[in-house]
Chains A and B, each alone.
Chain A
Amino acid sequence: MNKGKVIVIGGGLAGLMATMKIAEKQVPVDIISLVPVKRSHSVCAQGGINAALDTKGDNDTIYDHFDDTVYGGDFLANQTPVKGMVEAAPGLIYAMDRMGVMFSRTAEGLLDLRLFGGVKNRRTAFAGATTGQQLLYACDEQVRRLEVAGYVNKYEGWEMIDLIIDDNGVCRGCVAQNLATMEIKSFIGDAVIIATGGAGMIFGKSTNSVINTGSAASIVYQNGVPFSNAEFIQIHPTGMLGTDKTRLMSESARGDGGRIWTYKDGKPWYFLEEKYPAYGNLVPRDIAARAIYDVCVIQGLGIDGKNQVYLDLSHLPADYLNKRLGGIMEIYENFYGDDPRKVPMKIFPAVHYFMGGIHVDWNHMTNIPGLFAAGECDYMYHGANRLGANSLLSALYSGTVAGPAALKYIKGLGKLAEETSKSLGDAVVKKQLEIHNKLTKMSGKENPYKLHEEMGELMTKNVAIVRYNKALAETDVKLQEFQERWNKINIVDSNAYSNQTVMFARQLKNMMELARVITLGALNRNESRGSHYKPDFPKRDDEKFLKTTMAQWTPNGPKFSWEEVDISHIKPRERNYSVDKKVDKEASK
């Protein structure tokens, strides 16, 4: 019996977990991935994954995890899905453990837990400082096993460039292009799961990998799916500026005892500890990032007069650091030459994570039947700010929701796509071939890589850590100019084989669409909430803005509407990390 087929776009944690859930039920999956799935961006996650395992004598509970996540996200996350995630977390981590993830251990061989930002209890399971890599590899191995068993076909080195949507508005697959041969091919399927991660490349330099352009999510948006809460971009407080990217220095460095400081009046000033005595160096990321920005840019107290402060581990024993943080010690040493065991590291905030994304229902289906989204590219679990070590959790968890939801959806289908949609796919292939042929002939004067650099600089300057309406409005005008200039790009590569410039030009166009959604979303939101900070509107305004932003694509730019947030479990209260968080369990029942 034909059971149908699911197409998963993206082979990071969310995509592989969804694949596992589907292939385990003997339904075939095609995975389309830009890179061999083992090289997906999930490898970059360092510090750990949260679950209230309560194995460290801290009396941690699932409710604490729930409340920390909702409070940390400044009450913008829909609470029921978050509740589902934190409840599933312990079981999920134990399943990953069975799959062989090399989690760090206690003396009795159980999973060790470390402390993370915005949290008072040890709740973060970790594998040294390469947790994302270890989790991704375990998923990669399980999916390889299912591949050998015949349930998974991998298309690595392919990029999704369009969706196949039938006359009834139902998703019947996608069209992808091979990065080597440039072949354009249709993939007919009964459900498509988009799991393509964040879009840090819109900001030029970020902690993201170069494939994180958001191009696939933008295609989904341009096909009529709302893009939600795009204005909420996490700025990680501790990045290291390089000529090619901003590298991440994990929050676990502070979780394991690292301290942030700079000089004031000739003496070390531990400004986070002073300003936020309750949480100290472990305040959530938006708060730490703004404090560092304030010290450097506003007060001019950066180290050596530059935009940088110290992240100091040098007071901790070297063998402790090697064991728990070896992976990041190595990155700093290899890329910056200094030994963080001996001297403090120099860091500055960097664009890191997209809390917002493709709008989905609680089963991760979009408003297009058969089209799902999971992982960083969805908008579901983090509200206005994501807590550290919740991203690996949401990536895996959303895969465990989207996969089975796609299966359930397929079962309810009358006819499978294979029988109905072949000619539909051919038509989309033809359309995309024409676009490709046009692209390859573009011979204007704009270099797409330079244009991208310019856009990244503009976005980083005006739409990142601190936002002013005037600058946001100007940015949107500029972005439209960039869209005009895109029409004059030059595909500097004349080779018809493995032409990366053509693929990048496509991505750049899609990035520009999302850049406008981010910028206008920020312009519209006249309040400060989580990562979104406007000095002219310094307070959270629940009355007007306790709402999910929904951007709908139109040829003339995004059209905005707002949706109510599910606050059915925890009543919104003021978010203040200078004092201990009060959990009012009674009031929230």
Chain B
Amino acid sequence: MVNPQFIHLKVKRRSNPTAAPYWEEFKVPYQPNMNVVSVLMEIRKNPINAKGEKVDPVVWECNCLEEVCGACTMLINGVPRQSCSALTDKLLEQYGENNVITLEPLTKFPVIRDLMIDRQLMFDNLKKVKAWVPVDGSWAIGRGPRLADKVHQWAYPISRCMTCGCCMEACPNVNSKSKFIGPAAVAQVRLFNAHPIGAMHKDMRLEQLVKKGGIQECGNAQNCKRVCPKNINLTAHLAAMNRQTNGYGFRQFLMGDK
């Protein structure tokens, strides 16, 4: 059982997208069963830094606080994860009671302010790979296609992806020099290609995956799977999509398109 007097935080701050970053420390009175979000909530109720100076409260994003919306992702002691499910007691157990918990914004996305980032890139990537089932319309035209329970069992976990950005952060091939769309979007292609209606249109998604920034840019570092908060088997899905794109390339070759 940890029982320190304070939770000691070190936050990488930035007052706007173009301002220079700086570090600021905070000491928040310890309470049991806190998470990083509730520590940040304490700071805004009493925005005073560790030196006793009055400062602007730390800005961060959060919404559901149940690790299903993906909003509150940040680097906590260097690890990309949701701050709602980062329990302070567990952090202090893991890193030691005197640990200064460091909070930083994800580095692969533009910073808005402090820990708040802009992940529009990930939603744009979902547009690129056409991550949807192209139904004729939302009207009621009767029962949908059957789907084997066996397929549901491996596809459903992919559909729990919160577009949180942990896999993008951890992937060495997602960087300012590459256009790699990242593991999350690639896994979504597998999901939609598995759906009986989605499968009818699988080539339009595969076409995107063989373009620049597509699956060939995966370097198989396997970091994505390790950091995924929903335990999505991203490396397996990347491998499966590699096979699907190979098949797609071969079909295109036979048809003489390429």
Which A residues have a C-beta under 8 Å from some C-beta of B? 17, 20-21, 24, 35-36, 38-41, 43-44, 88, 90-92, 94-95, 97-100, 102-110, 127-128, 130, 133-134, 137-138, 141-142, 144-145, 147-148, 180, 209-211, 242-245, 247-248, 323, 327, 330-331, 334-335, 337, 400, 447, 449-450, 453, 492-495, 497-498, 500-501
Contact = CB atoms under 8 A, between A and B. Distances in A.
Closest 6 A/B residue pairs (Cβ) = A91-B140, A97-B144, A109-B146, A141-B132, A100-B133, A244-B38
Contacts of B195: 100
A451 to B, nearest CB: 10
Contacts of A21: 138
Given A35-B69, A94-B142, A94-B143, A144 B126 contact: yes
Interface string B106-134: 00000011001011100100110011111
Contacts of B118: 180
B141 to A, nearest CB: 7
B152 A453 contact: no
Nearest to A496: B16
Contact of A209 (B45, B69, B163): B69
Given A35-B69, A109-B146, A133-B68, A94 B156 contact: no
A498 B71 contact: no
A481 to B, nearest CB: 20
Range, interface on chain B: 35 or more
Interface of B: 15-16, 31, 33-35, 37-38, 41, 44-47, 56-57, 59, 61-71, 84-85, 87, 90, 112-113, 116, 118-120, 123, 126-127, 130-135, 137-149, 152-153, 155-156, 159-160, 162-163, 191-192, 195, 197-198
Given A97-B144, A98-B197, A17 B138 contact: yes
Contacts of A109: 146-149
B44 A498 contact: no
B131 A141 contact: yes
Contacts of A453: 45
A581 to B, nearest CB: 29
Contact of B33 (A43, A95, A98, A242): A242
Contacts of B44: 449, 492, 500-501
6 contacts: A40-B69, A41-B69, A127-B159, A138-B133, A144-B127, A242-B65
A353 to B, nearest CB: 15
Contacts of A144: 123, 126-127, 131-132
Contacts of A17: 138
Nearest to B63: A209
A39 B38 contact: no
A373 to B, nearest CB: 20
B65 A209 contact: yes
A36 B146 contact: no
Contact of B113 (A44, A104, A105, A498): A498
B159 A105 contact: no
A211 B62 CA distance: 9
Contacts of A141: 126, 131-133
B132 to A, nearest CB: 4
Contacts of A245: 65-66
Contacts of A138: 133
B156 A128 contact: yes
Given A128-B156, A137-B159, A148-B127, A105 B147 contact: yes
A99 B15 contact: no
Given A41-B64, A134-B159, A209-B63, A243 B132 contact: no
Contacts of A211: 63
A144 B126 CA distance: 8
A585 B35 CA distance: 52
B15 A495 contact: yes
Contacts of B56: 492-495
Which of B127, B144, B146, B195 has the most A CB atoms < 10 Å from its CB?
Answer: B144
A94 B132 CA distance: 16
Contact of A500 (B59, B90, B119): B59
A500 B40 CA distance: 13
B63 A98 contact: no
B95 to A, nearest CB: 17
Given A95-B140, A492-B44, A43 B68 contact: yes
Contacts of A98: 133, 135, 141, 144-145, 197
A440 to B, nearest CB: 12
Contact of B67 (A137, A331, A500): A331
